């Protein structure tokens, strides 16, 4: 029998933090809970789609943020290019499982059970800014599955998802790239002249630049490069963390932030 399971955990209101002195940052952190859903194939119990991600308390701002998070969750579900992206977790799960079932019912096609698991967490929830991480692992056959992490940063005054130009001052690009390369060299134990695409660096090219997949944390800005973005699959996901002190001079003013993660 087809198994369906969904549970909604009650909203947990975050502890209030002192006001920071501006209209934008004087609001409280947003309350959030977790939404979980899983669905299994009728013909093969090893084929499934699962998700577990944060949902913010319903409000004008919360609903805008939730819509962006939902879009990120369902966007990573593998599906034929001809089909539109699902608009709900239920539709995404059903489409994913149907795709595998159709292959398994085709005697001319050898298909492995498919799995897709998405997990989301709140990295930062404070007056002014919210950062959410969405991690998806999906296997649809072949030598290995694929892992993708998406970072989403939101302005809690408007619900807008923020981009680099909202966080950094004009003309930040060159200096940011220098900081990222310097930090990456420190991580890999590279000298200033060692090639980034050498054995120790492991990158496709002899350069590393900023991308749009960034998180604002309680201590700085994190950039994440998914598998195959800048290095082979075996390198895994690559993260580069820069502190707020590192970024002085190219960051726009931000509210005082402290990580909610130990």
Q: Give the DSSP letter string of 114-129.
A: PEEEEEEEEEEEETTE
Q: What is the pLDDT of residue 143?
A: 84
Give domain 165-243's CATH architecture.
Alpha-Beta Complex (3.90)
Q: What is the pLDDT of residues 50-76, one digit of tens each?
A: 999 999 999 999 999 999 999 999 998
Indicate if 165-243 has the same CATH topology as 4-160: no
What is the residue extent of each domain of the chain? 4-160, 165-243
Q: How far apart are CA 125 and CA 57, in angstroms?
A: 13
* Residue where the block lists tokens 């420190």: 186
How many Å apart are CA 184 and CA 208, to the nearest integer? 8
Question: What confidence tens digit (pLDDT) does each residue in 135-170 have?
Answer: 999 999 888 899 999 999 999 999 999 999 999 999
The whole-number average pLDDT for the span 188-208 is 97
- Over residues 192-209, mean pLDDT: 97
**How far apart are alpha carbons 67 and 17 in whole angstroms?**
26
- Contact (Cβ atoms closer than 8 angstroms) between residue 206 and residue 112: no
pLDDT band at 226 (very low <50, low <70, confident <90, very high): very high
Answer yes or no: CATH 3.30.70.20 is held by domain 4-160. Answer: no
The average confidence (pLDDT) of the chain is 86
23 confidence band (pLDDT: 50, 70, 90): very low
Residues 209 and 220: their CA atoms lie apart, in Å, by 17
């Amino acid at each position: 029998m087809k198994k369906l399971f969904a549970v909604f955990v009650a909203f947990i209101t975050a502890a209030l933090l002192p006001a920071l002195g501006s209209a934008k940052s004087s609001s409280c952190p947003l309350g959030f809970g977790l939404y979980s859903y899983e669905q299994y194939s009728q013909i093969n119990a090893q084929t499934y789609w699962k998700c577990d991600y944060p949902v913010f308390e319903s409000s004008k701002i919360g609903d805008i943020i939730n819509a962006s998070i939902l879009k990120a969750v369902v966007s990573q579900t593998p599906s034929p290019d001809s089909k539109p992206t699902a608009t709900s977790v239920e539709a995404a799960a059903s489409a994913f499982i149907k795709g595998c079932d159709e292959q398994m019912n085709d005697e001319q096609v050898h298909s492995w059970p498919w799995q897709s698991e998405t997990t989301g967490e709140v990295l930062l929830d404070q007056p002014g800014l919210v950062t959410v991480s969405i991690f998806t692992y999906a296997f649809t056959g072949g030598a290995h599955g694929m892992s993708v992490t998406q970072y989403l940063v939101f302005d809690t005054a408007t619900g807008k998802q923020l981009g680099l130009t909202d966080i950094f001052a004009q003309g930040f690009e060159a200096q940011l790239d220098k900081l990222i390369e310097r930090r990456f060299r420190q991580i890999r134990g590279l000298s200033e002249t060692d090639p980034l695409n050498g054995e120790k660096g492991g990158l496709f090219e002899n350069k590393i630049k900023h991308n749009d997949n960034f998180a604002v944390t309680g201590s700085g800005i994190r950039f994440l490069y998914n598998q195959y973005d800048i290095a082979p699959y075996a390198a895994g996901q690559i993260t580069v963390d820069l502190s707020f002190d590192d970024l002085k001079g190219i960051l726009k003013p931000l509210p005082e932030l402290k990580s909610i993660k130990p």
